[in-house]
Chains A and B, each alone.
Chain A
Amino acid sequence: MNREEAVKIVMSMLEKNVDGLEMSDDKMDKTLVDIGVDSLDVMLVIMDVGEAAGITISDDQAEILDTPEKIVEFIAKQ
């Protein structure tokens, strides 16, 4: 998957699942906590991103995906 597609998926899944969140480039390197994604939202976002990208993200992998950029890099590599 190319980076552009990965960014689109991650941004759209964050906005879909987190009330009031509007994604922008400057938020990509911030931690999920800092942009207002709580621990339950994170689980939903990771699940939706995995499904949209057609990949499985294990619990261990999910634990280290703590910024939107890290999620993008992870799914772009698959």
Chain B
Amino acid sequence: MLGIRSIASYLPKGRVDNLEQADRFETDREFVEQKIGVSSLPRFEAKDSVVSASVSAFKSLCEKESVDPAEIECVVLCTQNPDNGGLPHNSALVHAELGLSEDCACFDIGLGCSGYVYGLSVIQSFMAANSMKKGLLFTCDPYSRILNPEDKNTCLLFGDAASVTLISDTPRYILSSAKFATKGSGSAALQKNDNLLEMNGRAVFNFALQDVPKQIKRVLENAELTMDSVDIFLLHQGSRFMLENVIKRAGMPAEKAPIRLSSTGNTISSSIPLLLETELNGNPKTILMSGFGVGLSWATAIYTQVK
């Protein structure tokens, strides 16, 4: 059986002081710290790329887990802001940098904030269907490439990061239950126009508060679990205000749903793995993760610890 073995991440050295940005946008500093919940943002520097950040995440993985590159049979990379416009697919470039075997499947998937939950299911399913034992799921979506410097709604929110998850036939966590959903009719809420990100904050907020809690409850019902029987809820870290209200509306115990974006911001598909990397240290038995955003797309999954 395949599942999550280990996770590592990479935050670029570049930093944007979000309170200085608040001043520039004539926005209250307290609003930025308390409501948006972000004090500083990791930003790609000129030397950073999706491929280099992914490779750095992999190096970090190798420091905590014994990984034999020769055993990697699958690489999936989730991004909507790839290097070279996505041609070639960035997973192939990572494959080259890591010196992986030619007997290795590589492909990218283009999803935003739901990408990690989707990506886990995609890579595990693909590997299972093809009798593979070890694979890597990368996330890296540098929104700094598409931010409009004059748009405070997005500049104050998004950070750059990368993660890698080792999928293994000797897993620590396996998928128990999941749901995936799309509301394509609402896709204009988050879109790229003239190569710049446009976000309708109200539409995204309404979507997150109205649709995500329902899906979380459905996944729990399908798994015959209650909120109390989940050890940790890992929600996409969109903004503090949005998270607090999704948590309230879903009826989650707030102490089990970490809000941790003060020094990362919203890192798109990397936000859940950044949380998960830390939370795995506490050996939770049951993990619920929910990603939601661009698409509009949302996905919720429950992973359970292998005994």
Contacts and interface: CB of A to CB of B under 8 A. Distances in A.
A38 B31 contact: yes
B209 interface: yes
B143 to A, nearest CB: 20
A76 interface: no
Interface residues of B, number: 13
Contacts of A46: 202
Q: Mostly helix, strand, loop or mixed at chain B's interface?
A: helix
Interface in B161-204: 200-203
A54 to B, nearest CB: 14
Interface in A44-72: 44, 46-47, 59, 62
B305 to A, nearest CB: 36
Contact of A62 (B31, B202, B241): B202
Nearest to A50: B206
Contacts of A43: 201-202, 205-206
A1 interface: no
B245 interface: yes
A77 B264 CA distance: 44
Interface in B201-256: 201-203, 205-206, 209-210, 241, 245
A44 B246 CA distance: 11
A67 B28 CA distance: 21
Contact of B35 (A40, A47, A62): A40
A62 B28 CA distance: 23
For B202, B209, B210, B241, which residue has the most chain A Cβ atoms within 10 angstroms?
A: B202
Contact of A44 (B28, B203, B245): B245
B207 to A, nearest CB: 11
For B31, B35, B203, B206, which residue has the most chain A Cβ atoms within 10 angstroms?
A: B206
Interface of B: 28, 31, 35, 200-203, 205-206, 209-210, 241, 245
9 contacts: A38-B28, A38-B31, A40-B205, A43-B201, A44-B205, A44-B245, A46-B202, A47-B205, A59-B203
